[in-house]
Amino acid sequence: CSLPLLLLIGAVQFLVIGMSFPSLLMDSSRRRAFFNNAEEEFIPEPQVSCDFNDTRSDYCEMAGAIRIRGSTSEVFVMTPRRGTTAGDVVGANATWIAANATSWKMQPYTRKGEARIMNGITAVTVRLADADEAPACEVMHDVPAVVYSNGGYCGNYYHDFNDNIIPLFITTRHLGGEVQLLVKQKQAWWFGKYGEIVGGLTRHEALDLDGDARVHCYRRAFVGLRSHKDLSIDPRRAPNNVSMVDFKRFLMWRYALPREHAIRTDDEVVGGRRPRLLIITRRSRRRFMNLEDIVAAAEELGFEVTASDLMSPPKKQGGEAALVDDGGQARMADASATVNAFDVMLAVHGSGLTNLVFLPMNAVVVQVVPLGRMEGLAMDEYGVPPRDMNMRYIQYNITAEESTLSELYPPGHPVFLDPGPIHKQSWSLVKDIYLGKQDVRLDMARFRPVLQKALDLLR
C-alpha cells in the first residue's frame, strides 16, 4: 500500500470505530516505526546540483530522500532504482564528477586552494543509493541540513568570520532559521563564542557528526558552504541577493548594536560630540611603537581617541583579568558594542581589523600595511569589505624607515628591496619575517594627512 492509501484507511477506521489504524494491532513505538517505514518506501527522484568550479569551495545542494551517517562521513542520496549514476541526477556544472560515478568525495571547508589546510579536513562521501544499499532512517527531520567542517583555521578571528560565519550566512540566511547544522570536526567552544550569530541562523541544535552514530534523514541537504570573496559577499551569487550590508544589519540585530550610521562632522555642533577614533592595538608583533604620538595627533585634529585590543578579558577590581567561562561569548558582545560606538578604526594589518564588521555604516577604516609587498593581500582582506558595507577605506603603506625591520637588517638588504623571491620561496617565510618580526613606527609628518582625510570623509 502507498502512504496516502494507508492514511485514507486509517481515517475511515477512525470515523467508524473511533480508533486509528494500526493502533488496533500494535503499540505506539511499533506504530511510529510502521509509518516511518511506509514513508521511506516512497523515494522520489533526487534533485542534485553541484558546483566544483569555484576556487574557494565545493558545494552541492540536494533534494529528495537524504540519509546522513556522521560516523562514516557519508551522505546517501536515495534513488528509486538501482544503478542511478551522477549523469542521471547531477547538473552540468558538476564537471568534476564522472557521469558514470555513483559516489564522490567532498571536503566541506572554504579554503579549497590551500592544500596544507585541506589535508586536515575530513572528507564527506556522497553516495547515490537505493533502499537496499543505504542504512535505515533512525531520526527524521523536517528541516534542511547543512553539512560542513568546523576545522581548518578555526580559532583565528579573521578566519572564523571569513571561512565559517559569512559562508554560513550566505548558505543559510534565506532559510529563516529553519535549518540544522551538521558539523564535522565541531569545536564546542566555537559555538559558545559565536552563539549569538549561530542562534540567528538556526533555531535547531547543531549536531556533532563525528560523535553521532545515528542515521539522520532529511528531504533537503546542502554539503559545503558558499563562499565568494575575502570577508565579503557577492550579492549576485547569493540566495535572495543578500549582501554585506544585510550581514552588517544581521550582526546589529544579534548583538543589539544601536548605531547604524557614523557621525557626520557637519552635525558636530548640533550633536555636541566629537568623532571617535578606535586604535586597535596588538599584544605581539605589528604593534604601533609610537602610539602616544598617534593619539596626540588625532586628538589635536579633533578626535576622541581610544586604544584597545578589544578581546582581552575584562578586568575585575585589583586589575586582574576576570575569568568568565563562557567560551568568549561575553567578550564578543563587549567587543561588538565597543566597536559600534566609534566612527573611525585604525589598525595595522591583522585579524583585529575583522572587527570592522561591527562599525556603523559610513564609518572609516584605516589600514596600516607593513613592509613586505603586502599591499594586495591587505586590500583583498580588509580593503574591499568596508566598501561592500557602505563604509570608507584608507590604506597607508609604510616605508622601510617606518618598519622595525630596519633595526634587524642593513639598508639595501633584499628584505627591503625585493620581497618577491621571499614570497615565492614560502608563505611561512613571509609570515616569519614580515608578519612575525615587524612592528611599525609611523612617520607622523607623513601620517597626519591620513588622519585628516579620515576626518574629512565623515563630513
One DSSP character per residue, 88-122 reads HHB-TT-TTS-TT-SEEEE--SS-TT-HHHHTTSP
Verify that 269 and 362 share a domain, yes or no: yes
Specify the pLDDT at position 4: 60
Question: Nearest 10 degrees: CA dihedral of 211, 215, 218, 221?
Answer: 50
Contacts of 412 (CB under 8 A, 6+ apart): none
Q: Find the largest Cα–Cα distance for the chain.
A: 97
Q: Sign of dihedral through CA atoms 210, 211, 216, 221? A: negative
Specify the pLDDT at position 315: 56
Specify the pLDDT at position 265: 86
Verify that 260 and 214 share a domain, yes or no: no
DSSP state of 142: S
Verify that 369 and 274 share a domain, yes or no: yes
DSSP state of 257: -
Q: What's the gap between Cα 365 and its chain centre? A: 21
Backbone angles phi, psi at 275, to 5 degrees: -65, 145
Residue 363, classified by CB atoms within 10 Å of its CB into exposed (0-12), middle (13-18) or buried (19+), is buried
Specify the pLDDT at position 408: 94
Domain range enclosing 123 = 47-80+101-227
- Write a three-state SS string for 158-212: HHHHHHHHHHHHHHHHHHCECCEEEEECCCHHHHHHCHHHHHHHECCCCEEHHHC
Question: Which residues pair with residue 148 across a beta bridge?
Answer: 183
Verify that 186 and 267 share a domain, yes or no: no
Judge whether 4 lies within some domain.
no
Distance CA 161, CA 168 (A): 9
- One-letter amino acid identity for 76? F
Specify the pLDDT at position 33: 52
Verify that 294 and 161 share a domain, yes or no: no
Neighbours of 449 (CB within 10 A): 11
C-alpha cell at 4: 496516502
Judge whether 19 lies within some domain.
no
CATH number at residue 367: 3.40.50
Judge whether 149 lies within some domain.
yes
Verify that 342 and 208 share a domain, yes or no: no
Grouping H, G, I as helix, E, B as strand and the rest as coil, residue 344 is strand
Question: Nearest 10 degrees: CA dihedral of 213, 192, 171, 108?
Answer: -50
Specify the pLDDT at position 329: 84
Distance CA 292, CA 237 (A): 45
Which residues of the chain carry a pLDDT beneath 70?
Answer: 1-41, 91-95, 267-271, 313-327
Judge whether 334 lies within some domain.
yes
Instruction: Characterize the bridge pairing of strands 215-223 and 276-280.
Output: unpaired
Number of domains in the chain: 2
Mean pLDDT score across all residues of the chain: 90
Judge whether 339 lies within some domain.
yes
Judge whether 179 lies within some domain.
yes
Verify that 138 and 217 share a domain, yes or no: yes
Q: Which of 212, 227, 242 is the last residue of a domain?
A: 227
Question: Nearest 10 degrees: CA dihedral of 90, 94, 95, 97?
Answer: -60
Verify that 268 and 169 share a domain, yes or no: no
Verify that 280 and 159 share a domain, yes or no: no
Distance CA 179, CA 122 (A): 22
Specify the pLDDT at position 9: 62
Instruction: Characterize the bridge pairing of strands 47-51 and 207-208.
Output: unpaired
Of all helices (H) and strands (E), which one includes residue 69? strand 59-69
Judge whether 248 lies within some domain.
no
Specify the pLDDT at position 31: 46
Specify the pLDDT at position 270: 46
Verify that 119 and 171 share a domain, yes or no: yes
Distance CA 104, CA 362 (A): 46
Which stretches does DSSP call E strand in 327-423?
344-348, 364-369, 392-397
Verify that 55 and 196 share a domain, yes or no: yes
Specify the pLDDT at position 311: 74
Contact present, 67 and 137 (Cβ < 8 Å): yes
Specify the pLDDT at position 351: 95
Question: Nearest 10 degrees: CA dihedral of 173, 175, 176, 178?
Answer: -130
Verify that 67 and 166 share a domain, yes or no: yes
Backbone angles phi, psi at 69, to 5 degrees: -120, 110
Neighbours of 400 (CB within 10 A): 15
Question: Which residues pair with residue 366 across a beta bridge?
Answer: 346, 394
